[in-house]
Amino acid sequence: MNVRGFGVKSKFGWVKGMCFNERPNVAAFQETKCKNLSFNWVCSLWGNCDFDFIQKDAIGNSGGLLFVWDTTSFVVESALVSDFFVAIRGKWCGSRHETVVANVYGPHTDSKKWEMWNTLDNVLQNIDSAWVICGDFNEVREQSDRLNCVFIQARADRFNNFIVSNSLIDIPINGKKFTRISDDGTKFSKLDRFLVNDNFIKLWKDLSVVALDRRESDHCPLVLRDKVIDFGPKLFKVFDEWLNKDDAIRIINEAWVKPIIGSRKDCMFRDRLKNVKNDLRKWSKSEFGSLDV
């Protein structure tokens, strides 16, 4: 989300409330208008200490980027700070697949826009990973993305060329047509979005983007969600025959005592059950073949 500066106390409380309600794995903030944010400040915003962060300082009272991620969900191996974006490269816990997430705050001038697209092009072409590029691009893709604002076709063409040439997917936003509204309520633009590549789609197949109420900013916060939850309505069958096997009891006991990293007891209990479920699935398949469980 583009916070349009963290200087107002009510805005800090609003963002803190969203972090508490949404429980994001990764959060990307643009236009922080801040320098040298401390660990304690970010901890208060995030709501716990199971995080790490990287920032790009504002220049004067302009710009500034902040990336915060849950270290129990995403392990960052490296980071890249550019004039136009901050990118983190790592792996989701329990996954062998590498993901790069880029937090973008687009410039306003034509020359700087071209520089940003060229820089992103070079990075994308040299890193073969699952990609998520999110943020305030300060650009639109078509005329219908603006209302009562100047639309420049050449800028939109360059943005679309960037998306097509890098085989990116623009995930549709649910809830709102525009993501930025001017202070006087007369100008509307769709400047914020999530762009992902096919490798990311393969990891998270049920993605959706939801626009939240903007309240304290001129931009709507966007949330990228995966709708399928492993411990949700899909049932897990346990067959009585399994309990007659000594191996089944051993599998359950070993899965239950696997190390769990986390601070909330309810989440730790959930993850223990998931470990048991996953290990029993693997054991059942090798012992009995496919039983559709």
The residues of the chain that CATH labels 3.60.10.10 are 9-226
pLDDT at 231 over 50: no
Tell me what pLDDT residue 290 has: 55
Average pLDDT of the segment spanning 78-85 = 93
Share of the chain above pLDDT 90, in %: 67
What are the structure tokens assigned to 177, written together?
């047509």
The CATH class that applies to domain 9-226 reads alpha beta
Q: Per-residue pLDDT tens for 32-45?
A: 999 999 999 999 99
Q: What are phi and psi of 3, to 5 degrees?
A: -85, -15
When pLDDT is cut at 50, 70 and 90, the band that residue 76 belongs to is very high
Beta strands in the chain (DSSP E): 26-30, 51-56, 65-70, 74-81, 85-92, 98-105, 130-136, 146-147, 168-170, 173-174, 180-181, 188-189, 192-197, 207-211, 222-226
Tell me what pLDDT residue 65 has: 96
What are the structure tokens assigned to 208, written together?
């959706």
Q: Per-residue pLDDT tens for 89-129?
A: 999 998 889 999 999 999 999 999 999 999 999 999 999 99
The answer, as to whether pTM is greater than 0.85, is no
Q: Per-residue pLDDT tens for 170-220?
A: 999 987 899 999 999 999 999 999 999 999 998 887 899 999 998 899 999
Average pLDDT of the segment spanning 19-38 = 94
Tell me what pLDDT residue 289 has: 67
pLDDT at 288 over 80: no
Coil vs helix vs strand at 2: strand
